[in-house]
Every structure is written in structure tokens, then in C-alpha cells.
Amino acid sequence: MARAWLVVLAAAATLALGFVFANAAPPATDSPSVAAFREVAKVLNHPRCMNCHTTVAWPTQGDDRHRHTFNIMRGPDGGGPQGMRCTTCHQDKNQDSMNIPGAKNWHMAPLSMGWTNLSPAALCKALRDPAKNGGRSGGKVIEHLRADGLVLWAWTPGGKRKAPDVPHAAFLAAAETWIKKGAECPQQ
Ligand code: HEC
Ligand code: HEC
């Protein structure tokens, strides 16, 4: 009797697990390139990146991406208007004693590289479009993701800030796979 119950329980558990995994898996229609892009997008959508890649006239802060305090504006070159340059406060390194994040040449990405609220498809297309991405070929995008100081800062953001869940090496590998397999974009 007890044995029969065990069998029933085991069967139920297997079903439940199958259900969970089936729902966690990406849609079956994803090509290897698109699947890799979804991994890349997890990082692009992270607040550490998005706070500089906004589609508005100011940078944002924190995991909730609230507007930067002190009415900081992007200014003509993303480095803030004259008299309120980003580098007045943001130094070449994090200054944890004052809770100010920092990395060399701290400034915002231009509006053409703004990603706020883009769908996965739009984000993907923006990333591979030389008219939007600063004239970068696939290889140049990878190089930027591999070595740019502002990109790397996201994994050592200082203070209590959280880094993206995907480690930098895994992120880079996913970006390489995405491009090598055709830089395909999701349907939506
Ligand atoms: C402190 C601000 C800042 C942060 C933080 C930041 N970026 Fe950027 N990003 C920039 C600036 C400025 C440029 C433009 C650089 C250029 O074209 O020379 C840029 C350009 C890019 C580009 C190339 C253009 C494009 O649209 O393809 C990519 C890719 C990119 N960033 C990815 C990231 C990722 C991924 C993160 C987070 C892991 C990140 N950035 C975090 C400021 C930032
Ligand atoms: C008056 C000083 C000051 C100026 C000028 C300034 N910042 Fe900041 N910034 C700060 C401080 C302080 C923080 C940390 C706030 C916190 O974490 O609560 C911060 C945080 C940020 C963050 C948030 C990082 C994160 O992921 O949470 C970004 C992005 C940022 N600043 C970009 C800029 C840009 C771009 C400029 C210029 C256009 C700029 N800041 C100008 C003081 C300044």
C-alpha cells in the first residue's frame, strides 16, 4: 500500500518538474543565435547598463532606474553640460567612501544607443545597426563588450550596487555565439 503511494507521489513529482522546466525553457522556435542573444539581452537590460543607455535627456540611478539626483542632464556630448560635467563627481574609479561609482571617461551613451523599454527585437536590431551603434561591425561590438572600461565597470560597480547575474565571460561568449551564428534577432 505504502509502496503504491510512493509510486503515485514520484509520478506526480516528475510531472510537476516537467511542467516547471517546460515553462522555464526558451520558446522552441529560438535558433541558436537568437537563444544566445536572449542571454546577451539579460545584461543589456540590467540597470548597471541601462542607467547610462537611456532614451531621455538624463542618466538614471539604482536598480529602480530613478532619475539621477541633482537634475543631472546628458548635455551636448553625454558628459553633462558645462559647469556640471559628470567627471566633476565621477572619477576614474569607484569612490566607495562617498558612494560615487566611477570609471575612466564616465559619460552617457548617445541617444542613438538608448535602450530603455526596447522590445528584445528592437534592442537586437539597434545593437547590430551601424547607424545606431557608432558604426560598429559585429567584431567591433564584441571588442567593445570585451574591453570597454564602462562595460567592465558593471561587474565591479562599487558600493551596494549589484552586478549582472550573468558573469562577464559568459556574457561575452553568448555575444560571440550570437554574432557567429548570424546575429539573428527575435521576432518580437
Ligand atoms: C557610465 C556610462 C555607461 C555604462 C555604465 C555603460 N555604458 Fe555602454 N556606452 C556608454 C557610452 C558613452 C558609449 C558610446 C561609446 C562610443 O561609441 O565610443 C557606449 C556604447 C556602448 C555600446 C556600443 C554601441 C551600441 O549601441 O552597440 C555597447 C554595445 C555598450 N555600450 C554596451 C554596454 C553594456 C553591455 C553595459 C553594461 C554591462 C554598458 N554599456 C554600460 C556608456 C556606458
Ligand atoms: C554632483 C555630482 C554628480 C554629477 C555631476 C554626476 N553624478 Fe552620477 N552619481 C552621483 C552620485 C553621488 C551617484 C550615486 C548615487 C547612489 O548610488 O545613490 C551617482 C550615480 C550615477 C549612476 C548610477 C549608477 C547605477 O547603476 O546605479 C549613473 C549611471 C550616473 N551617476 C551617471 C552620471 C552621468 C552620465 C553624469 C553626467 C551627465 C553624472 N552621473 C553626473 C553624483 C554625480
Query: Is 141 close to ligand 1, i.e. is its CB under 6 Å away?
Result: yes
**Cα 113 to ligand 1 centre (Å):** 8
Q: Is residue 92 a contact partner of residue 156, using CB atoms and an 8 Å limit?
A: no
Q: Which ligand places an atom closest to the C-alpha of 145?
A: 1
Quote the pLDDT of residue 119: 97
Residues touching ligand 2 (Cβ under 6 Å) are 47-48, 51-52, 59, 61-62, 68, 70, 72, 74, 79-80, 84, 86, 88-90, 99-101, 107-108, 161
Q: Say which ligand is closest to the CA of 134.
A: 1
Distance 59 CA to ligand 1 centre (A): 13
CB 121 within 8 A of CB 185: yes
Question: Is the distance from CB of 54 to CB of 70 less than 8 angstroms?
Answer: no
- Nearest CA owner, ligand 1 atom 23: 133
- Nearest ligand by distance to the CA of 44: 1
Give distance in angstroms: CA of 149 to centre of ligand 2: 16
Query: Buried (b) or exposed (e) across 60-94, using 16+ Cβ within 10 A?
Result: bbeeeeeebeeebebbeebbbeeeebbeebbeeeb
Comparing C-alpha atoms, which of 186, 178, 188 is closest to residue 33? Answer: 178
Q: Which residue has the higher pLDDT, 27 or 98?
A: 98
Neighbouring C-beta atoms of residue 103, cutoff 10 Å:
20
pLDDT digits (tens, 9 = 90+) for 69-117: 999 999 999 999 999 999 999 999 999 999 999 999 999 999 999 999 9
Cell of 95: 569612490
pLDDT(55) > 90: yes
* Residue 17, pLDDT above cutoff 60: no
Please report the pLDDT score of residue 29 as a whole number.
Answer: 84
Residue 116 φ/ψ, nearest 5 degrees: -55, 130
- Residue nearest ligand 2's atom 1 by CA: 89
pLDDT at 3: 64
Instruction: Say yes or no to pLDDT of 39 above 70.
Output: yes
| Among protein residues, the one whose CA lies closest to atom 28 of ligand 2 | 61
